[in-house]
Amino acid sequence: MFTRTENFRTFLSLYPIVSLIVCIHLVFWLLFQLPIPAIQLFLGLLDGYNAGIANGEYWRLITPIFLHMTFSHLFFNTISLILFAPALERMLKKVKFILIYCISGIIANIATYLIEPLSYSHLGASGAIFGLFGVYLFIVYFRKGLIDQANSQVIISILVIGVIMTFFNSNTNVVAHLFGLFGRFLIAPLFVKKSGRF
């Protein structure tokens, strides 16, 4: 379930939405590396700057989901997507998967806006990715027929490690991680059917 054996072309064919999101992450990260003032100014309008949201720049509730400043941030979020998102895209299909991913990130960013000060600024896909794990957590406890015991243990282990590391890593948006996870866990019943199996 979480072991990727596909070659590049097969992965693109089987998981087009995951592939598209990864591509968007890479493109924006590469743009961040260009020392061109106009591009840097444009990217500065896309981060999760709370004061900007307060002034009506509501696109900042979703655009940070696709942005990463450092390579390590990009790498870990992208690897998480490649390993853990394909099974959900396969089960939920394209539209539901897109909705889950984006709504998870938006919930995380709204919570960040409401809880953090106006001066707070953030970016990264972590809130959306924790939202995907929130769906898995719901499946583990309330849709046991959809996932076997071994994969359930993998999910719980990764989640425990992820939540613990959230509190120990510097420059981590703790609010986004927790609200992405639990927000999506609470509304997962709207998206996850009782039939089917990974």
Overall residue count recorded for the chain in this entry: 198
- Which is the catalytic residue, given 68, 73, 122, 177? 177
CA distance 98 to 43: 23
- Which is the catalytic residue, given 126, 157, 170, 195? 126
25 is catalytic: no
HEC secondary structure over 34-96? CCCHHHHHHHHCCCCCHHHHHCCCHHHHCHHHHCCCCHHHHHHHHHHHHHHHHHHHHHHHHHH
177 is catalytic: yes
Give the 3-state secondary structure of residue 144: helix
The CA distances from residue 36 to 33, 41, 42, 173, in Å, are 9, 9, 10, 28
Q: Are 104 and 180 in contact (CB under 8 A)?
A: yes
Catalytic residues: 126, 177
